[in-house]
Amino acid sequence: MTDLEEQVLQDQVREIADHMDFGVISMLLVDSCAWTKVELEHWMPDATEEEVLAWANNNCNHRFMHYSNNFIFEDAHDALMFKLTWS
């Protein structure tokens, strides 16, 4: 296996692990701690991921986490405002 192939493989393995980790953590927080999950079907046409995260950091009063287009919010009001803004 070439160095490039090895790097691509490692990147894919890391991506899968991150996705699984977020899935487990979000499931626990939603099911056990009453966090609210919001899944964006797609990014808004004019918005980048960085803009969405900047909005969340500036407007959410409580903790949130995200992986790709999946977000979980500690506070249901933060989740509602996020969904109204970005869905």
Bridge partners (DSSP) of residue 57 are none
Q: What is the pLDDT of residues 12-53, one digit of tens each?
A: 999 999 889 999 999 999 999 999 999 988 766 778 889 999
Question: pLDDT value at position 53?
Answer: 94
What number of other Cβ atoms are within 10 A of residue 78's Cβ?
20
CA nearest neighbour of 65 among 31, 30, 13, 41: 30
Average pLDDT over residues 2-17: 90
Say which DSSP state 41 is in.
S
- pTM comes to 0.82
Question: pLDDT value at position 1?
Answer: 78
